[in-house]
Amino acid sequence: MDNLTVFTEFLLMDVTGSRELQVLQGMLFLVIYLGALTGNLLTVTVIVTDTRLHSPMYFFISNVALLDLGSISVVVPRAIVNSMTGRKTISLPECVAQILLYLLFVEVEFALLVVMSYDRYVAICHPLHYRLIITPSLCSQATAGSWASGLVYSAVHTGALFRLPFTKTNVIQQYFCEIPQILRISSSDVQLSEFVVIVVSVCIVLICFKFMFVSYVNIFSTVLKMHSVEARNKAISTCTPQLAILLLFLISGSVPLFSPIANKSSLRNLLTAMFYSMVPPLVNPIIYCLRNREINAALQKCSRDILKS
């Protein structure tokens, strides 16, 4: 089975048996993708063009926006094409590439969220030393380190997942190459090695989560001690969006980990996958625009400039 072709089943309301529902699913995916594309590109554009946002915090935010765009682009465009054309197959090399890139973008984003929590900790708890600690060189090194860790993790994870030929059915009960579904059709040796990788990953995540938890506890302790209401509100406006995105990231990431692996098509299975693969890239720009005062003000200024021109 070296030249195995993996078949992707479309799951929404037995959509494989209805051409109209396939097109409807494709249109829904297209709307979600265009929304995520617009929101993330707008976030990056505003940060790049507005000189007031040229700071380490917004540098990391723009990187997260690009990573969100990358993670959803790995999955959704192919699903849209499959829905519109009625195709139900994806080749093994494409499946490997899909999982490799998706893991890469997700892991790098998580690493940057850890870095961003430290950035906010220094900015709020040690403001006088902020420019001495959070330097452009440190930002570049942190970003490069995040990408390096993402490359190593995604390569190891994908290698462990595809190191042996599949021994079971080649039907995936999902609209993309989902890791739990790949495990379902893999041999017991692959499942054991994947289990080891997942255990190590969870341990690393828990260590990072402890670091972020301590950072945000110190942040909000410092904020509560501030006498100036304006300073307190400004500090909260820069922290709450990152905290909300972190919580959304952790919740969406735990969904495939703790959800039972589906053996047949179901609407619940489809909606679960849509939640963790599409919702964060779509919602994150909205969180930043609504909760971050500087980005909100920059967007309003940009809108006024467009209307004037």
**How would you write the pLDDT of the chain (309 residues) with one tens digit per residue?**
344 444 443 233 444 557 777 788 889 999 999 999 999 999 999 899 888 888 899 999 999 999 999 999 999 998 888 888 877 777 778 888 999 999 999 999 999 999 999 999 999 999 899 999 999 999 999 999 999 999 999 999 888 888 766 666 677 777 788 888 888 777 777 777 777 888 888 888 889 989 999 999 999 899 888 888 888 888 888 888 888 888 888 888 777 777 666 666 666 777 788 888 899 999 998 888 766 777 877 777 776 766 666
Helices 267-291 and 56-85 sit at what angle, rounded to 10 degrees?
150
Structure tokens at 241: 């969006």
Residue-level length of the chain: 309
235-268 core/surface letters (b: 16 or more CB in 10 A; e: else): bbebbebbbbbbebbeebeeebeeeeebeebeee
Give alpha helix (H) positions in 86-178.
92-125, 130-133, 136-161
pTM above 0.75, yes or no: yes
d(CA 152, CA 146) in angstroms, rounded, equals: 10
For 9-307, CATH gives: 1.20.1070.10
